[in-house]
Chain A
């Protein structure tokens, strides 16, 4: 691991390398995170993309990327990363390319593919100790098709496929926990609304060889139903309420990089989003709000806040 360069906000790259003009929605929390990540990773990155909102980052003949991009399919972006990484290693080993022609390889995937269809491919890439960075933009639903329930959708939120009074009956999968159980080289949760925390983690991930995860909670104005301007406030509240713990797994340990203290009640986060409006109107659903709060409290109690 090399010495980190990013210590304060002013050290974050001021040159933004992701091209503007993409088809992603105004106020997209995923794009916010991606451009912050790309600024730290640098141009010499091949993004291997799976089906999701980011599929439409590159629409012929327009691409915002300055390095590599390969669209694969929903389930197999980690396998695509395997092919690219292996090929570059073979070319280096056989001296068919110079070391300076090498590139880092990243998977770009939404929560739909990450928490569901692409989970086996990612897990097995970790097993194979593939040197790659897995970036998941987690907007907590199948966003590109109109916010249907995915395995990353939180309990009690309303989606296009769970429209009832109680919202989604299931619970958001602990993807970070799954990765940690798989013993990767590095794993971290981030959010675009906390650019310094994000940049430090990406910088760290970049310096470590092996399978790495950057899991970015990505507020979605369309799917979560709020004004695009609120992306920042909702992102900050996700951290302040403790709903989205910022943490990293490195050297065999999970460390929280930001511990909200005191924690803002989850209600402040929920009530800004249309997907939770049924918890407040026409009648307040204390049972569900309390359940969400108590789960967050239990999490922080368990980590010894």
Chain B
């Protein structure tokens, strides 16, 4: 059975990716399961989707714990613990990253012995967040399995996206086939994983649930603003940077309009952005009367952040 996991952010088309890959497998005669996994998180938040494909009936359900292939549409997610991109990697698990950097760089950065393939999906002059990301990821994954033909993939893309109109389908098809072709050297590199039966698995450490007093055993939070422990800054693909030389120090404007209350008055009266929580909506950029706040891609910083995270949590 192929067990394939897609990681991206809400809005990057991971559900579409899983549907296209699932349908492509299906067209090739496989039994298939595909599903997105939704949490409370929204656009920009880490989400994942998965595909299972086998020649026989599939009885597994739910999240994939032992993937054969993991596709990361957004490289800034790799170091994010909550995204669980690197969860349950086996030596044979292939990692496909949408990145302009080399596989070697990622191997060193992640200290990972599994196979790594890098595929830069952004074409010249494009930002990180693309409408075509999901389709390209699915196409690349299809080639890596070695069991999905070029024509069959093309048919699937046309079928899955048909409702979006000819123009959209044509552009998606172009992107999909480009990604498919780019993976020619790696065709078939992803092998099917073993069947996992219940018997050899480790037994659960079941307990007798203790009775707690009702006061404790109800979902109540007895402190204020505990939400700050959630690092929503990880959703960001662009970062607002304040240029103090242009800044008027009218923090009541950007500070009030920021939905997430992450702009406060910092040193010298300039606005200070809490990057741990800024989701990167860029409303402050739009709001600044002096154009002193600039949107800067988070991308370049991802590698450095990754290294820092790896050191912090070995």
* Chain A residues close to B by CB (< 8 Å): 9-10, 12, 14, 16-29, 31-32, 35-36, 39, 43, 56, 58-67, 192-193, 195, 221-222, 228-233
Measured CB to CB, the residues of B under 8 A from A are 10-11, 39-45, 219, 221, 223-232, 235-236, 250-253, 255-262, 264-265, 274, 276-277, 279-283, 285-287, 295
Q: How far is the CB of B149 from chain A (nearest CB, A)?
A: 33
Contact A193–B257 (Cβ < 8 Å): yes
Q: How far apart sit A18 and B258, CA to CA, in the bound complex (Å)? A: 12
Contacts of B226 in A (CB 8 A): 19, 61-63
Do B281 and A231 touch (CB < 8 A)? yes
Do residues A16 and B259 form an inter-chain contact, with CB atoms below 8 A?
no
In the assembled complex, how far is the CB of residue B135 from the closest CB belonging to chain A, in whole angstroms?
19
- Among A17, A25, A35, A229, contact of B285 (Cβ-Cβ < 8 Å): A229
Q: How far is the CA of A60 from the CA of B262 in the complex (A)?
A: 21
Q: How far is the CB of B278 from chain A (nearest CB, A)?
A: 8
Tell me how far the C-beta of A17 lies from the nearest C-beta in chain B, rounded to whole angstroms.
8
Which 6 pairs show the lowest CB-CB distances between chains A and B? A19-B225, A27-B281, A66-B224, A20-B277, A16-B261, A26-B279
User: Would you give the shortest CB distance from A78 to chain B, in whole angstroms?
Assistant: 22
Contact of A21 among B43, B230, B283 (CB under 8 A): B230
Q: Do A222 and B42 contact each other (CB < 8 Å), given the known contacts A21-B277, A32-B283? A: yes
CB pair A232–B257 under 8 Å, yes or no, is yes
Counting residue pairs across A and B whose Cβ atoms lie within 8 Å, the total is 144
B216 CB to closest chain A CB, in angstroms?
12
Please give the distance in Å from A138's CB to the nearest CB on chain B.
15
Contacts of A25 in B (CB 8 A): 10, 42-44, 279
Highest count of chain B CB atoms <10 Å: which of A22, A35, A195, A231: A22
**Complex: how many Å from CA A232 to CA B229?**
27
Highest count of chain B CB atoms <10 Å: which of A12, A26, A231: A26
CB pair A35–B259 under 8 Å, yes or no, is yes
Contact A228 B224 (CB under 8 A): no
Summarize A's interface: helix, strand, loop or mixed.
Answer: loop
Partner of B257, one of A24, A66, A192: A192
Residue of B11, B257, B265 with most chain A CB atoms under a 10 A cut-off: B257
**Residue B227 contacts which of A21, A36, A192, A193 (CB distance < 8 angstroms)?**
A21
B-side interface mostly: loop
For B229, what are the chain A residues with a Cβ–Cβ distance below 8 Å?
Answer: 21, 62
Asked if residues A63 and B259 are in contact (CB atoms below 8 Å), the reply is: no
Residues of A within 8 A of B279 (CB): 25-27
* Minimum CB–CB distance for B220 against chain A, Å: 9
**A residues in contact with B231, CB < 8 Å:** 21
- Whether A230 pairs with B286 at a CB distance below 8 angstroms is yes
CA distance A97 to B158 in the complex (A): 67
Q: Given the complex of chains A and B, what is the CA–CA distance between A22 and B227 in angstroms? A: 6
A7 to B132, CA, bound (A): 48
Given contacts A19-B226, A20-B261, contact A58 B221 (CB under 8 A): yes
Chain B residues within an 8 Å CB radius of A27: 259, 279, 281-283
Which residues of chain A are near B256, meaning CB under 8 Å? Answer: 9, 12, 36, 39, 195
A233 and B225 in contact (CB under 8 A), knowing A221-B43, A228-B281?
no
A233–B282 Cα distance when bound, in Å, is 12
Question: How distant is the Cα of A79 from the Cα of B210 in the complex, in angstroms?
Answer: 34
With known contacts A23-B45, A24-B259, A64–B225 Cβ distance under 8 A: yes
Question: CA separation between A221 and B221, bound complex, in Å?
Answer: 30
Q: Which residues of A contact B282 (CB under 8 A)?
A: 27, 228-229
Contact A9 B253 (CB under 8 A): yes
